[in-house]
Amino acid sequence: MRPHRLALTLVAALVLGAPLAGCAGGKPAATRQAKPIPVETTVVRMGDIGGSLTLTGQVQATAVTKVAPKLSGKVAAVLVKAGDAVAAGQALARIDTSDLEHQIAQQQAALQVAEAQLNKARSDAQNGYTQANSALTQAKVALDDAKTNYERTKNLFDAGAASQQQLDAATVTLQTKQAAYDAALQQVQTAAPGGNPLNQDGIKVAQAQVNQAQTALATLQSQLAEATVTSPVAGVVASRDVEPGEFAGPQSSVVTIAQINPAKVTIQVPENRINDLKAGMSVKVQVPAAGMDASGTLSRIDPVEDNTTKSYGAEVEIPNGDGRLKPGMVAQVTIDGLTPARGLVIPASAMVETPDGPKVFTVENNTAHQHLIQVGAVDSQHVQVLKGLKEGDVLVISGQDLLGEGAAVTIVQPGSGGGSGGNGSPGARTPGAAANGGVNNSGGAGSPVKGGLAPGGPGASSRGSSAGRATSAVMGASSSASWDGWASRDQSNRARGNLS
């Protein structure tokens, strides 16, 4: 009997222990199928878009000027620092001038010597002219006396009162005095060319030497002035490019000046809207970092398209008297009054950016299908689809980040608890999570996400407030939570009567 009892005891233990073993294992025998991914959708319809165009751009300086010294040398001082406002003509830096000052001193001495030589030449010329003129006066008196004596002697000779010898002597004296006078006159003309004693060649040479010394000195003094580097424009110091002790010259900048009043915003205009824009148009500019809303003017439009971006560069000019706008800030430029475009219009939030371009998902027979699209006109919330969709397509507008081609989906209404956010802390979107049943934990209740506020917030579920809070609690959990876990908790809560 004992062997039979032992056998019966073992059989009973195995039978009774089977359910316990199943409970201890924690895994069902059969593998569950992944739950369909809940998505929100809308129907693709025709509409108007593009009455206004909003583009993102960047604030830049109107002009950037690299200021270089005209004089080469060692930098003695830099007088400004980055961020300083400067006026046109303000001193920015100084080049060392010790060698230059020595050269100037030497040249000043050389000029003094040249001027002294010129003054001596002028004095000598004046004295020579005075002496020559005096000699000419004396020669004139002697000549006049000789003429008078000759005339008297000639008359006496004709009257027979004077001899031939006396007449010949008077003639020789007259000729001698005439020659002396002619020589004295030539000396005066030489001492005063053109009647001016300062026209002598020696004086001209001395004057040329003075002029040369003056020019050399002026060149050195100009270089001395150029040793102080000044700003050619008003603006803000963007960078200090050298430090004291470094070498600088005409080929290297010492300071870079950015002109930021007015400032400009550079934007890229889509090729399908470029012909709607004209230079001189008024635009609205919003710069969040500066807390600034301003009016600007479309100042320039590039005539040639950028082959990489398939867009045209443009610039907007904005007053910036208070200097709040800084180069590099992001700006939103809105251009109103444009002609609307008619076509297929979808929410911009429905798009998913990929390396191949924007794509969207549509739903057919509870199956997701992806489509690469070509975008036309855009505004702040919508885009025009030129290719890739047709009117009547059922477009996914929430939950698309979790989808892949052929994914099983279930369409839910906004706020039904099947959206992309819960009542927990914001989590990260997890592309590809649909493969393992993951949930898009992209925002908490009331958090801004694609398509609006995150569904599943408190009181938003169609199941009632209790169901909404429960679903939000689940959706706010870690992104590793699965729909299987949600179903298990749902059933457990229902068993306890917590869910309606």
Say yes or no: domain 53-62+260-335 is CATH 3.40.640.10.
no
| Strand ranges in 176-280 using DSSP code E only, listed in sequence order | 228-230, 235-240, 247-248, 255-259, 263-270
> pLDDT band at 415, cuts 50/70/90?
low
- Evaluate whether 298 touches 333 at the Cβ level (below 8 Å): no
- Evaluate whether 245 touches 75 at the Cβ level (below 8 Å): yes
For the segment 268-296, the average pLDDT, to the nearest whole number, is: 91
Degrees (nearest 5) of the Cα angle 311, 317, 323? Answer: 125
Per-residue model confidence as pLDDT tens digits over 317-352: 999 998 899 999 999 999 988 888 889 999 999 999
For the segment 494-500, the average pLDDT, to the nearest whole number, is: 34
Sequence-ordered list of residues with C-beta below 8 angstroms from that of 96, at least 6 positions apart, any chain = 73, 74, 75, 76, 227
Report how far residue 340's alpha carbon sits from residue 37's, in angstroms, rounded to the nearest whole number: 36
- Among the residue ranges 22-31, 134-143, 157-166, 231-240, the one predicted with the least confidence is 22-31
Buried b (16+ CB within 10 A) or exposed e, 139-151: beebbeebeebbe
Residue 33 is given by DSSP the state P
Report how far residue 452's alpha carbon sits from residue 439's, in angstroms, rounded to the nearest whole number: 18
Tell which CATH architecture fits domain 63-96+227-257.
Beta Barrel (2.40)
For the segment 210-215, the average pLDDT, to the nearest whole number, is: 93
Report how far residue 401's alpha carbon sits from residue 17's, in angstroms, rounded to the nearest whole number: 46
Sequence-ordered list of residues with C-beta below 8 angstroms from that of 107, at least 6 positions apart, any chain = 213, 216, 217, 220
What secondary structure, in 3-state letters, does 364-383 show? ECCEEEEEECEEEEECCCEE
> pLDDT band at 33, cuts 50/70/90?
low
Report how far residue 5's alpha carbon sits from residue 12's, in angstroms, rounded to the nearest whole number: 11
Report how far residue 408's alpha carbon sits from residue 363's, in angstroms, rounded to the nearest whole number: 9
- Evaluate whether 276 touches 338 at the Cβ level (below 8 Å): yes
Q: Where are the alpha helices (DSSP H) in 84-200?
A: 98-159, 164-191
- Evaluate whether 248 touches 56 at the Cβ level (below 8 Å): no
For the segment 408-428, the average pLDDT, to the nearest whole number, is: 58
For the segment 297-323, the average pLDDT, to the nearest whole number, is: 92
For the segment 250-270, the average pLDDT, to the nearest whole number, is: 93
User: pLDDT value at position 18?
Assistant: 42
Task: Kindly state the percentage of the chain with pLDDT values over 70.
Answer: 76
Report how far residue 325's alpha carbon sits from residue 258's, in angstroms, rounded to the nearest whole number: 12
What angle in degrees, to the nearest 10, is found between the helix axes of 465-475 and 483-496? Answer: 140
Q: Which residue, among 450, 376, 373, 297, has the nearest Cα to 53 in the 3D structure?
A: 376
Residue 304 has pLDDT above 80, yes or no: yes
Report how far residue 68's alpha carbon sits from residue 229's, in angstroms, rounded to the nearest whole number: 8
User: pLDDT value at position 238?
Assistant: 93
Burial class (CB within 10 angstroms; exposed 0-12, middle 13-18, buried 19+) of 159: exposed
Mean pLDDT of the chain: 78
**For residue 218, what are the β-bridge partners?**
none
Residue 475 has pLDDT above 70, yes or no: no
Tokens of 330: 């992001």
Q: How many residues does the chain have?
A: 500
Highest mean pLDDT among 183-197, 267-281, 392-406: 392-406
Q: Where are the alpha helices (DSSP H) in 26-97?
A: none
Starting at the earlier edge strand, list the strands of the sheet with 73-78: 228-230, 91-95, 73-78, 247-248
Residue 466 has pLDDT above 70, yes or no: no
**Domain boundaries of the chain, sorted by first residue:** 37-49+343-496, 53-62+260-335, 63-96+227-257, 99-225
Per-residue model confidence as pLDDT tens digits over 18-28: 444 444 444 44
User: pLDDT value at position 313?
Assistant: 95
User: pLDDT value at position 186?
Assistant: 85
Residue 419 has pLDDT above 70, yes or no: no
Highest mean pLDDT among 2-16, 167-181, 433-447: 167-181
User: pLDDT value at position 32?
Assistant: 54
Q: Which helix (H) or strand (E) holds 54?
A: strand 53-60
Highest mean pLDDT among 121-130, 222-231, 388-397, 420-429: 388-397
Q: Which residue, among 370, 377, 373, has the nearest Cα to 357 in the 3D structure?
A: 373
User: pLDDT value at position 193?
Assistant: 77
> pLDDT band at 416, cuts 50/70/90?
low
Tell which CATH architecture fits domain 99-225.
Orthogonal Bundle (1.10)
Per-residue model confidence as pLDDT tens digits over 366-393: 999 999 999 887 777 888 999 999 999 9
CATH for 37-49+343-496 (2.40.420.20, 2.102.10.10, 2.60.40.10, 2.30.30.30)? 2.40.420.20
Phi, psi of 12 (to 5 degrees): -65, -40
